[in-house]
Structure 1
Amino acid sequence: MRYMATYDLMETIRNTQQWLGATARTMASYPAMALVPNPALQWAAAWGEVTERAFERMVARPDWGIRTLTCEDGRDHLVHVERVVERPFGDLIHFNVHGREEQPRKILLVAPMSGHYATLVRSTVISLLPNCEVYVTDWHNARDIPVSCGKFDVEDYTLYLVDFMRELGPDTNVVAVCQPAPLTLAATAYLAQSDPDAQPRTLTLIGGPIDPNATPTDVTDFGHSVTMGQLEETMIQRVGFKYKGVGRMVYPGLLQLSSFISMNADRHAKAFTDQIMRVARGEATEHDAHNRFYDEYLAVMDMPAEFYLSTVERIFKNAEIAKNEFTVNGEKVDIGAITNVAVKTVEGANDDISAPGQCVAALDLLTGLPDEKKASHLEPGAGHYGIFAGKSWRNNIRPLVLDFIDSNAHKTEPANVNVA
Structure 2
Amino acid sequence: MTTSPPRPRSKGKPAARQIPPVTATDSSGPAAIVAVKRLFAAETGSYFLLLGTTVFLVVFGLIMVLSSSAVESFTASGSFFNGFVRQSLFAAIGVPLMLIAARLPAFFWKKWAGRLMVIAIGLQLLVFVPHIGVEVNGNRNWINIAGFTAQPSELVKVALVLWLAKSLADIQDRLGDWRALAKLLIPAGIATALDLLGGDVGTAIIFIAIVFAALFFAGVNLRLLALPLLALALAGASLALGSGSRASRIAATVSGCQTDTDHFGMCWQTVHGWWALASGGVFGVGLGNSKLKWSWLPEAANDFIFAIIGEELGLIGAILVLVLLLVLATTFLRIIHARRQTDVFARVAVSAVLVWIIGQAFVNIAVVLGLLPVLGVPLPLISSGGSALVTTLLGIGIVLSFARHARDVTSVPSTGGRQA
TM superposition score normalised by structure 2: 0.25
More helix by share: 2
Give the number of the structure with larger relative contact order, counting CA–CA contacts within 8 Å between residues 6 or more apart.
2
More strand by share: 1
Tell me which structure has the larger Cα radius of gyration: 2
TM superposition score normalised by structure 1: 0.25
